[in-house]
Amino acid sequence: MAQVIADRRDVDFVLHEQFKVAEFSKHEKFAEFNKKVVDMIVTEARNLAIKEILPTQKIGDEEGCRFEDGKVAVPESFHRAYELFVEGEWLAMPEDPEWGGQGMPKTVALAASDYFNGANYAFMMYPGLTHGAAKLVEAFGTDEQKKLYLKNMYTGKWTGTMLLTEPEAGSDVGALTTAATRNDDGTYSITGNKIFISSGEHDLTENIIHPVLARIEGAPAGTKGISLFLVPKFWVNDDGSLGEFNDAVCTGIEEKMGIHGNSTCSLSLGSKGKCRGLLLGEENKGMRAMFLMMNEARLLVGMQGLACASASYLYAVNYAKERVQGKNLLKMRDADAPNVPIIQHPDVRRMLISMKSYVEGMRSLIYYMAYLDDKHATEKDPEKAAKYQGLIELLTPVAKGYVTDRSFDICSTGVQVYGGYGYIKEYPQEQLLRDCRITMIYEGTNGIQAMDLLGRKLGMNKGKPVMDLLSQMNKTIAEAKDAGLEDLAERFNKGVNKLGEVGMHMGSLAMSPQVLAAFAFAHPFLEVTGDVVMAWMLLWRAAIAKSKLGKSKKDDLFYEGQIKSAEYFIHSVLPISIGKMIAILNSNPAAVDIAEDAFGGK
């Protein structure tokens, strides 16, 4: 049971051997978080996840949420899990203790979240969105708003959401029609309809705080005229007590393919003219403010994808060791040869090592994002701090888009390892596949992540973040050579060089009359960028493992496995990626040149 969420040995490897998180305790900000404390935090998170949250996963999927008369009831088992989660102060792990946080490094908080999301990420969306909404209050709220809302949200007494999407304004947020009208008392009357609101209505807490994007009367069209408002389900009085219902009405919940335990709501704001909101930040700068929450949410979605993939892989490994089917290939002609566990079959081993390498690479990448944030928070040199922030921004579309693309592939492979049993509800793989699918869509579809990488991140700050990333990769190449992994280092280096060539090509193409062709290849560009980043993370891990082989018998199998993961990926996946890079360099424009009617339809 313990190994069906996240492999503790792998988590510890990333925390302590790859990123050496205990070294953050040398800084005053994280002084109390030495290795002993870090290990204790991860152990407690793992225990809560396995004992209390994991049992709610299947139950929550089967029960789903119930909607009646504008109210939503979550699966009953979620209530105890939420109470224990809040009691343990897990919601705002990296935040200031003054507001209800624990002040820990984000890398450590992410390791705890790895277990929580692996146990039941549909449940974890309630506290996850709350944290993001509270960050908006912390970053843009007035002192009075912080006093009234922040601690109640960071402690989980109240929950939060994000209200962006409308029936005619999905990915094109600038087309929203929700309106805000100034009132004499400084509040705003809000009217409009929002859809696809995760955790938008439920019975876990007494109040729900909605950050809402709306347009003040007379504001410019498009995203330039969007403002951000704080709209509570129940009005919060000046003394902190709850007032009247704030006319934010749930009009229904979606029947979804997966994440049934999370309420995905349609909300009507101000249908009776009684919905009020508080301006959060400055007028007409709401979209800029909301990106703070959206970027955090995109990394959360990457974690959700990793969590599904990690669980799928570990279930598949355990099943392959136990499921007896067919003879060993070398004894097929021996009539008396016994049947063997399917893990002995080469094709099953191929599937498992593919899953293993991706999961390990993705875990390192997701943790690396938090590690960069911690480095940024503890860095006194402005130039170095800017470097860390640049890397975070550059890699965010990879950590969200690429990771969730591959996570779904891994979950599909997990079904395949189980064979027919993987397709039925008695076993966990089919739910993981269903739950994982939405991660490729929400918080900006993966096509949008690809456009962001090409259109914004590639040329950001005159390309410095890209150069910094390539520099980090070259550093790993040198370390791998020093560790005795010359062949893997050289093969990886070819991939890095080819990616650099592709990046230059895509940047030029996007600035040329062939801009449409460039964006037709944005997603393939995201894919090959992700492949090279995966190879980098795996080579980094392998170099560490190689240097430690032979020092501890109990760890040698793990370290050998790290080297084999890198070997598999760099020998078997990276050459395919280079082939895709050649296709990108060719940039055949068929996708944009084809006439619309040539697609058929109607």
Inform me whether the pLDDT recorded for 1 exceeds 60: no
Architecture of domain 159-287: Beta Barrel (2.40)
In order, the DSSP letters of 162-181 are -B--BTTBSS-GGG---EEE
**What distance, in Å, lies between the first and last C-alpha atoms of the chain?**
50
The confidence score (pLDDT) of residue 50 equals 96
Please tell me the distance from the alpha carbon of residue 569 to that of residue 316, in angstroms, as a whole number: 19
What is the tens place of the pLDDT at every residue in 357-409?
999 999 999 999 999 999 999 999 999 999 999 999 999 999 999 999 999 99
Inform me whether the pLDDT recorded for 171 exceeds 80: no
What is the tens place of the pLDDT at every residue in 539-558?
999 999 999 998 888 899 99
The confidence score (pLDDT) of residue 100 equals 93
Q: Under a CB-based contact definition with an 8 Å cutoff, are residues 403 and 530 in contact? A: yes
What is the tens place of the pLDDT at every residue in 321-357?
999 999 999 999 999 999 999 999 999 999 999 999 9
Please tell me the distance from the alpha carbon of residue 149 to that of residue 135, in angstroms, as a whole number: 11
Give bridge partners of residue 236 from the DSSP assignment: 242
Give bridge partners of residue 182 from the DSSP assignment: 188
Average pLDDT, the chain: 95
**Domain coordinates in residue numbering, the chain:** 2-154, 159-287, 458-596
The confidence score (pLDDT) of residue 373 equals 96
The confidence score (pLDDT) of residue 312 equals 98
The confidence score (pLDDT) of residue 586 equals 96
Q: Under a CB-based contact definition with an 8 Å cutoff, are residues 429 and 414 in contact? A: yes
Instruction: Using CA atoms of 509, 513, 519, 522 in order, give the dihedral in degrees to the nearest 10.
Output: 0
Inform me whether the pLDDT recorded for 73 exceeds 70: yes
pLDDT confidence tier of residue 453, bands split at 50, 70 and 90: very high
User: Given the DSSP bridges, would you call strands 242-245 and 226-232 parallel, antiparallel or unpaired?
Assistant: unpaired
In order, the DSSP letters of 376-413 are HHH---HHHHHHHHHHHHHHHHIIIIIHHHHHHHHHHH
| Residue of 254, 443, 527, 567 marked active site | 443
Active-site annotation holds for 138: no
Please tell me the distance from the alpha carbon of residue 322 to that of residue 354, in angstroms, as a whole number: 20
CA atoms within 13 A on the CB side of 45: 27
Q: What is the CATH number of domain 2-154?
A: 1.10.540.10
Inform me whether the pLDDT recorded for 506 exceeds 50: yes
Residue linked to tokens 């579309």 = 397
Inform me whether the pLDDT recorded for 291 exceeds 90: no
What is the tens place of the pLDDT at every residue in 49-69?
999 999 999 999 999 999 999
Please tell me the distance from the alpha carbon of residue 212 to that of residue 164, in angstroms, as a whole number: 7
pLDDT confidence tier of residue 2, bands split at 50, 70 and 90: very low
Inform me whether the pLDDT recorded for 170 exceeds 70: no
In order, the DSSP letters of 50-84 are IIIITHHHHHHHHH--EEETTEEE--THHHHHHHH
Inform me whether the pLDDT recorded for 416 exceeds 60: yes
